[in-house]
Amino acid sequence: MAASTLTEVARLAGVSPATASRVLNGSARKPGKDIAERVRQAADSLGYIPNAQAQGLAKSSSGLIGLIVHDIADPYFAAIARGVQEAAREQRRMVLLATTGGAPGEEKEAVAAFAARRADSIVIAGSRSSRAEDGDQNAELAAELDRYCRNGGQVAVVGHPVVGAAAPEGYHVVSVPNQELAAKLAVELAAGWDGDFVIIGGPEGLFTSDDRIRGFQEGLSRAGRGPAEVLRSSFNRSGGYDAGLKLAARIKAGGTGQSGRPAGNGLGIFAVNDVMAIGAAAALRTEGLRIPRDARIAGFDDIETLRDFRPALSTVSLPLEEIGRLATRATAPPTADGDEQDYAPLPVTGKVMLRRSTETAD
């Protein structure tokens, strides 16, 4: 027979898992006597056995936040990490960092390591994946996170929920409107140019990339344009560079694009993140092509690196540091009087930034 969980005890007692945890795991912040007795009776009837990690989390805060990112060298993740660090400093907590390359199996190992060190909360930044090859690792990650949350931990995920995660309490999602913002970018770009568009996207099944591709196609349709061709590549600068070389060869060879227009007249390129756009632009320059004369190019995220990029890159600006702060604040421990946090998803807004890279060439 499977062991009873804290969530089941809380449901039977008619209280939240956080309240049940405070009663059963030794917290100094206990609810009223009648509520505590109801929780203990529910635990006895279900045969619930308190978990050692849960007791450690309930009795005292470790003051640690675990941060999991794909690549801290990527300016996108570096900016989010700065926001996490700033919010952690406000809460007088310290940040532990793990970089995983985006593999859910490595994320699972990071969660287990943070749980073993009794981290109060975990923030995960990085695109989720529905690719078949990630299926087993997704399931292992979800199970590890569910276990962590059942034992009193708090998790905030940037973008999409963890695939397969099912714990009813302890999860927070900082939602990013990737699809909506990519659609707005497409509408504005299509209003200023009537040539063909090509999308440089990440591997199919990568949620962030797919959302942005889907949104850009919707925006083109809204503007009365046909769908753009999609080139799939790695979700990084190298992937953008490889795709840029292919597009450079097409532009230099002439011929026609999807609309029947001469490819030699240039293309409108949308890369689904800024580092891919930077890679594509570097490839075009390597082949002797100029932006925006031979190709117009736009990215997504508005990373800090763009301050030094020329010509200035059109993009969608996201408040990356604020995203990190929101995620960290969502996992803050209860206040001194026991008030719990709001578990509702936290929305993020962004803004289309049209710059020199998509202007009509002189």
CATH number at residue 30: 1.10.260
Q: What is the pLDDT of residues 252-262, one digit of tens each?
A: 887 545 555 55
Q: What is the per-residue pLDDT for 265?
A: 56
Asked whether residue 127 carries a pLDDT value surpassing 90, the answer given is no
Q: What's the CA gap between 246 and 260, in Å, rounded?
A: 18
Shared-domain flag, residues 137 and 200 = no
Q: Is residue 138 part of a domain?
A: yes
Q: Is residue 214 part of a domain?
A: yes
Q: How far apart are the first and last CA of the chain?
A: 74
Q: Is residue 344 part of a domain?
A: no
Shared-domain flag, residues 196 and 298 = yes
> Across the chain, what does the average pLDDT equal?
86
Shared-domain flag, residues 32 and 148 = no
Shared-domain flag, residues 193 and 281 = yes
Q: What's the CA gap between 238 and 283, in Å, rounded?
A: 10
Shared-domain flag, residues 229 and 312 = yes
Shared-domain flag, residues 280 and 312 = yes
> Which residue range(s) make up the domain with 244?
178-317+351-358
Shared-domain flag, residues 65 and 109 = yes
Q: Is residue 40 part of a domain?
A: yes
Could you give the percent of the chain with pLDDT greater than 90? Answer: 58
Verify cis geometry, omega within 30 degrees of 0, for the bond prior to 311: yes
pLDDT confidence band for 348 (50 / 70 / 90) = confident
Shared-domain flag, residues 304 and 240 = yes
Using the Cα atoms of residue 231, residue 232, residue 237 and residue 241 in order, give the sign of their dihedral: negative
Q: Is residue 156 part of a domain?
A: yes
Could you give the percent of the chain with pLDDT greater than 70? Answer: 85
Q: What is the per-residue pLDDT for 35?
A: 85
Q: Is residue 222 part of a domain?
A: yes
Q: What's the CA gap between 239 and 234, in Å, rounded?
A: 4
Q: Report which of residues 26 and 232 the model is more confident about.
A: 232
- pTM for the structure as a whole: 0.79
Structure tokens at 170: 């302890």
Shared-domain flag, residues 243 and 274 = yes
Q: What is the pLDDT of residues 325-341, one digit of tens each?
A: 999 998 886 654 444 44
The values of phi and psi at residue 188, to 5°, are -70, -35
Strands (E), the chain: 64-69, 94-99, 121-125, 154-158, 171-175, 197-201, 229-232, 267-271, 295-298, 315-317, 346-347, 351-353
Shared-domain flag, residues 35 and 14 = yes
Q: Please say which residue of 56, 78, 98 terminates a domain.
A: 56
CATH classification of the domain holding 78: 3.40.50.2300
Shared-domain flag, residues 310 and 184 = yes
Question: What is the domain count for the chain?
Answer: 3
pLDDT confidence band for 169 (50 / 70 / 90) = confident
Q: Please say which residue of 33, 56, 79 terminates a domain.
A: 56
Q: What is the per-residue pLDDT for 52?
A: 52
Q: Please say which residue of 41, 56, 71 terminates a domain.
A: 56
Q: Is residue 206 part of a domain?
A: yes
Q: Which of 163, 197, 204 is nearest to 182 (CA)?
A: 197
Q: Which of 81, 86, 146 is nearest to 111 (CA)?
A: 146
Q: Is residue 342 part of a domain?
A: no
Asked whether residue 277 carries a pLDDT value surpassing 80, the answer given is yes
Q: What is the per-residue pLDDT for 231?
A: 97
Shared-domain flag, residues 281 and 185 = yes
Q: Which of 197, 249, 186, 267 is nearest to 221 (CA)?
A: 186
